[in-house]
Chains A and B, each alone.
Chain A
């Protein structure tokens, strides 16, 4: 299998994520994995927060993931009442643990509660392959169904571009 990121080398790292019944996979060669900070040995220095990224992914596909009631962040101990009072959180995990409550707090200030700005360069390749590609595939299917072949061709080119060079994808750049 060929690496999804460089499109050249043999992939040896395989990340699989099941979201809403659909399976997303990324395959990376050793070099790309290293470049992206994905550590091949567990717990080694420079470990990239892949799990954090993927947890974000899971949630973006299943909004009611945190069904059970948690009042304190298991990672930093910050309580939800503190967060609601001060609008301050203790750690990045709080954003996952108290996802719905934080969403509501942000909503008090703005209607647009989703990030529309840039991402770190390191994450853009993941985002492009994991999400944007899937979104484009879906659009392609719809375009074909509507027999809009010109649009479909354009989308197919975009997907091709994404597969060959995820960095060049103009997703969100500030």
Chain B
């Protein structure tokens, strides 16, 4: 069990400040690698899967960076810890259910690895703001160390071979998590997305369903990993991201000029609600925090943007349960909402520790 205060001391990619933070929450780069001499996970027997996992486990145990890493089978973690890995974007929901699988993450909460998902190994590096280079350096460093102990499947013209043919080549998928509320309010999203897709990139709402995005959060990423060097791929994605950043900023200026009262109402109403509410569910808090983030980016509210990025992770149920110290039941779900409301109040400075 821990207190709300100790929860707020939890640091990671979601507390890092970075470039263009008024629009960009975070950057992520993922490298897919497979061991030579084995089929991809989907075609492996249980025995082969555990052989692959054990080789990767052994390699992680040998590299210089091992001291900064948590390397653990999921079964050694509590159910709450496993769900926290999802909330930190380290593993997918499906992956977290495989107790015999391995998970690796660093003490700074800026890097993670999963084994035998679609590929044998997927490494993900994170950084605050628009900083794909930093996110890539984090992941590339570990990969360079691992390749001393692992033979990755590679061919000269198709590069690193992956189960997904769109992923071969560099095996690199980079993504940028952006906050685009002004484009949303001004109904300019479709036009912006069209431009992104014409440039060969994809963008999706954070929730990934048809209702649009939760809290105005969108993820921009490269759909194909081959044909460019890692450097070019990252630079081009950074360039298209910065265009989208400009587009969102211009939309914000327009709103301030023509619909100021309306936007002020949204921002201060959210601010007021978060200050006085007693129970907060997850979806509502995403929406309110989105308005507050916009208010902070416009300098109307005095809150650090990183604080809001951090809350977007910590308002997850598993992180809140850590302060309650019990598993989810019907009775505790109200308790979770209460703790969420208290956490947000404390984080935004409405309540003291």
Q: Which residues of A contact B (CB under 8 A)?
A: 37, 46-49, 52-53, 56-57, 59-60, 75-78, 83, 87-92, 95-96, 102, 105-106, 109-123, 127, 131, 172, 174
Contact = CB atoms under 8 A, between A and B. Distances in A.
B228 interface: yes
Contact of B34 (A92, A121, A123, A174): A92
Given A49-B153, A110-B200, A131-B156, A76 B43 contact: yes
Contacts of B168: 95, 106, 115
B167 to A, nearest CB: 9
B155 A52 contact: yes
A106 B226 CA distance: 9
Contacts of B38: 91
Interface residues of B, number: 43
Contacts, number: 136
B264 interface: no
SS class of chain A's interface: helix, strand, loop or mixed? loop
Interface stretch (B83-91, B98-106, B158-166, B343-351): B158-166
B221 to A, nearest CB: 13
B152 interface: yes
Contacts of B327: none
Interface of B: 34, 36-40, 42-43, 136, 140, 144, 147-148, 151-161, 163-166, 168-170, 172, 200, 223-224, 226-233
18 contacts: A87-B165, A88-B165, A91-B39, A105-B165, A109-B223, A110-B200, A114-B157, A114-B227, A115-B159, A115-B169, A116-B232, A117-B159, A117-B228, A118-B170, A119-B156, A120-B151, A121-B148, A174-B229
Of B148, B161, B168, B170, chain A has the most CB atoms within 10 Å of the CB of B161
Contacts of A57: 156
